[in-house]
Amino acid sequence: MRGSVVAVSASGEYTFTKPNRDGIRLIAGLGVEGDAHAGVTVRHRSRVAQDPSQPNLRQVHLIHEELFAEVAGDGFTVAPGQLGENITTSGLDLLGLPAGTLLHIGDTAVVEVTGLRNPCRQIDDFQHGLLKQVVGHDADGNVVRKAGVMSVVREGGTVHPGDPVTAHLPAAPHRPLAPV
């Protein structure tokens, strides 16, 4: 399974939207160099308040550009980086990947998919009503989260727009993604 990087984003401050960059550097075990969410232990403020010693399973946030087209059909305008992701991809079904999938990005970077982003009210603060677009229910009433996947950096490297992304699935049986 292959896709590509559409945009890369990072912010050294705790901001919801992250500005696009020409490139970002992934550091093994930490995340995106200079990003507020980089670290071995949790950096998201709500999770730090619960237990600051828990491992950071959310070092790098990836979201699929196809989501932007989907929500545009309902009148929302979203561009890369605006939902807080570090890497915007195209052509790869991120939400359909199992936990433990390795994403090889560019020449050397590798991230391991740890789970789904659990969207929060900040999405509605960004654009009222958008949260209902990225969190819904399937035909069986199960919650469906569409706001991307979270990952940890296994091998560092620099990532640029246009870089290829190749998914390598873990050995079966596969574990479905759950919020992290």
Span 88-142, pLDDT tens digits: 999 999 999 999 999 999 999 999 999 999 988 899 999 999 999 999 899 999 9
Q: Which CATH number is 14's domain given?
A: 2.40.33.20
Q: How many domains does the chain have?
A: 1
Q: Is position 85 within any domain?
A: yes
Q: Is position 152 within any domain?
A: yes
In sequence order, what E strands does 23-162 have? Answer: 24-27, 31-32, 60-64, 87-90, 102-105, 109-116, 135-137, 143-145, 149-155, 157-159
Rounded Cα distance, 56 and 15, in Å:
18
- The answer to whether the CB of 19 falls within 8 A of the CB of 82 is no
Q: Is position 72 within any domain?
A: yes
Q: Give me the pLDDT at residue 52, please.
A: 83
Rounded Cα distance, 86 and 20, in Å:
9
Q: Is position 178 within any domain?
A: no
Residue-range definition of the domain harbouring residue 146: 2-168
Span 19-65, pLDDT tens digits: 999 999 999 999 999 999 999 998 877 777 788 889 999 999 999 99
- The answer to whether the CB of 16 falls within 8 A of the CB of 122 is yes
